[in-house]
A and B are shown apart, each in its own frame.
Chain A
Amino acid sequence: MSTGSPTTLFDKVWQDHIVAAETPDTPAVLYVDLHLIHEVTTPQAFTVLRDSGLRVRRPDLTLGTLDHSTPTTPVASFTDLARAGDSAARQVRRMEENCSEFGIELFGFGSEHRGIVHVIGPELGATQPGKTIVCGDSHTSTHGAFGALAFGIGTTEVGHVLATQCLLQRRPKTLSVEIDGGLAKGVTAKDVILATIGQIGVDGGTGHVIEYRGAAVEAMSMDERMTVCNMSIEAGARAGMIAPDDTTFAYLEGRPRAPKGTAWDAALERWRALRSDPGAVFDRAVTVHGVRLSPMVTFGTNPGMVAAVDAVIPDGAGKPGFRKALEYMQLEPGQKLSDVSVDFVFIGSCTNSRLSDLQQAASVLRGRKIADGVTMLVVPGSQQVKKEAEAIGLDEIFRSSGAQWRESGCSMCLGMNGDTVPRGKLSVSTSNRNFEGRQGIGARTVLASPLTAAASALAGKIADPRRYL
């Protein structure tokens, strides 16, 4: 692994997983340490396996969950499940059959570990530094927060991994994103990543793996680092990584799938070497000034159209697509963001549904009522997060403020399960995509942190959370 010349964190993990080196004619064969699967992007891959008479080569390195098309109301029977739509129920059934037939562990209904795929991997301690992790989901970049190389793949590639535990890959380029300074009160990891995407653009990371570095990143908790890495794909990068450190190790120690005893000591020694060497060269480098950031919200139809919550909507005259996006959002240049009325608030998704996200939202809502006319959903990222939140009374805070407290799942992030925002309504959402129709046909999405989303629920308008802290 050590070649003498300084190398990046990415290169260390990449090199460690090369089964066969790339040549001009053939891509590298890259070994996959953890394959996460869910109901939506796998059925067609299992069909290919079955039709070709293939087995799953390493079911022991494969973990399944149900998250995308599952209801967030309690599921007691198949009838409940069918409420999310017959095809969704069929898809969930198929996932259960596939996992059972091919010997894959599935965290299904009734499992206390079920949850959003990118929440449960870390929570179980299955996500670890130095691993290669893939999943048929673009937000697999989340796991890079642990110093893993983690990226989303398509269904054909899901089939490749199931059959061989490997992928064919060309080496991507590297991009260093340095986030310097400390963050002001009320400014969170979500604001940092939204500002970063605004700065480098929604295609600023295309072809690259990002490494997030700098004082602001080092000071972040694991939940916060996951929020940052999660949205790497929103800048076009397939993966985002953060060098593991004591924060990472403290998070992992004692988790069900983390190494134990002497294996833990050995892992720790290996993990401590996983950082970019001084002088390591990146293909590109940018700096984001963390200290200057305010809470951020999006105003357009991609995550790069972002502004400070206390600003006015900029005049993007001449920028292609700017007017079309504002027309869809029913907003005008020069309009104060804090004048924009809010109909829905969604706290959840693989970006912001972990315990600390819920705690932040609850800290704003405690003892207060959400505005009349606002519908608010709080959807924990996993059944485990739900249990922990209930143990400290967060569910009560949400309910008494007027919000709905749900079962875990992807829910209103992409509206596959029937949790949707009606046409024309505006939603302040802690999720990751404000694309047209993402949360429902004609729905208008404003991306924000849990603090900003909760403050907006109280105000009935997009609101600066610093007013409530």
Chain B
Amino acid sequence: MQAIRQLKSRTVVLPINDIDTDQIIPARFLTTTSRDSLGKHLFHDWRYREDGSEKVDFVLNSPASLGCEILVAGRNFGCGSSREHAPWALLDFGIKAVISTEIADIFRSNSLKNGLLPVLVQSQVHERLLLHPGESVSIDLETTTLTLADGTSATFPIDAFARYCLMQGTDQLGFLQTRLNEIIRYEQQRPWTP
């Protein structure tokens, strides 16, 4: 995982609430045994027609979306299944942060483990972002601040440990492994065994 400190990009906006992980990547693409190259399936059924051609009116197909690394989405983004293929597909496509007023629990947890930044904002900031697609915004993980094109800024909440791991580019498994002695002690001392 690459270390992240700052991110600056134009936004791509999907002003839809409750975007579920079946939309982000449909289940029929989950028969893979790899986490690579899933970007081509991102929002597949919203992006492509039956014959495989692109739907020109879908925002990710617009030339203006090219190179945008920040996705602004409606409330409750990433609800539904636990498939980590959803953040994998977004990252492979080039999205590095998702901004919304609410992001579903499992999706958020999966994102943090892969270097995809979930950024929660208040509705006032959210509404502004929804109204200005393509706006250039910056995200500073060090100060946990989101700054909009007009200079207004807002801080966003993020778990301190997840933030540390993202800034170092480290996998959380390493930390768990350092607790091995405590895990063994727990197993030896617990009053019942599963």
Residues of B within 8 A of A164 (CB): 173, 176-177, 179-180, 183
Closest to B110 in A: A154
Kindly report which residue of chain A lies nearest to residue B164, judged by CB atoms.
A25
Interface residues as binary, A250-271 with B (CB distance below 8 Å gives 1, 0 otherwise) = 0000000000000000110010
**A139-193 CB contacts (< 8 Å) to partner B:** 152-157, 159-160, 163-166, 168, 170, 172
Q: Decide yes or no whether B149 CB sits under 8 A from chain A.
A: no
User: Which of A137, A168, A442 touches B161 (beta carbons < 8 Å)?
Assistant: A168
Q: How many A-B residue pairs have CB under 8 A?
A: 183
Residue interface mask B21-59, A partner, CB < 8 A = 1: 011001110111111000000000100001000000000
Q: Please, how many angstroms separate the alpha-carbon atoms of A43 and B31 in the complex?
A: 10
B80 at the interface (CB under 8 A from A): yes
Q: Does A34 contact B (CB under 8 A)?
A: yes
What residue of chain A has the Cβ atom nearest to residue B30's Cβ? A40
Q: Which residues of B contact A442 (CB under 8 A)?
A: 45
- Whether B79 contacts A202 by the Cβ 8 Å rule is yes
Tell me the complex Cα distance, A69–B17, Å: 29
Q: Which of B160-179 contact A (CB under 8 A)?
A: 160-161, 164, 171-173, 175-177, 179
Q: Which of B26, B34, B110 is close to A156, meaning CB atoms less than 8 Å apart? A: B110
A138 near B82 (CB under 8 angstroms)? Answer: yes
Indicate with 1 or 0, residue by residue over A196-207, a CB within 8 angstroms of chain B CB atoms: 000000110011
**What are the residues of chain A within 8 A of B83 when measuring CB–CB?**
40-41, 154
Binary interface encoding of chain A residues 284-308 relative to chain B, with 1 for a CB under 8 A from any of its CBs, else 0: 0000000000000000001000000
Complex CA distance for A31 and B106, rounded to whole angstroms: 18
In A17-36, which residues have CB < 8 Å from any B CB?
A: 19-20, 24-27, 29, 31, 33-34
Contact with A along B173-194 (1 / 0, CB 8 A): 1011101101100110010101
For chain A residues 93-143, which have a beta carbon within 8 Å of chain B?
Answer: 94, 128, 131, 136-138
- Given A88-B31, A138-B106, A154-B82, also A437-B76 (CB < 8 A): no
B30, B102, B176: which contacts A203 (Cβ < 8 A)? B102
Are A41 and B82 CB-contacts (below 8 A) given A34-B194, A88-B31, A164-B177?
Answer: yes
Other than the known A170-B159, A203-B104, A206-B76, what 9 A-B pairs have Cβ atoms closer than 8 Å?
A: A20-B179, A29-B182, A128-B194, A152-B82, A153-B82, A153-B106, A236-B79, A236-B105, A436-B22
Some 17 contacts from A to B, beta carbons below 8 A apart, are A25-B164, A27-B159, A40-B30, A41-B84, A47-B33, A90-B33, A137-B82, A152-B82, A154-B83, A155-B84, A160-B176, A172-B105, A206-B105, A302-B18, A416-B30, A423-B50, A437-B22
Which residues of A does B touch, CB under 8 Å?
16, 19-20, 24-27, 29, 31, 33-34, 40-41, 43-44, 47-48, 52, 61, 68-69, 85, 87-88, 90-91, 94, 128, 131, 136-138, 152-157, 159-160, 163-166, 168, 170, 172, 202-203, 206-207, 233, 236, 238, 266-267, 270, 302, 320-321, 324, 414-416, 423, 433, 435-438, 441-442
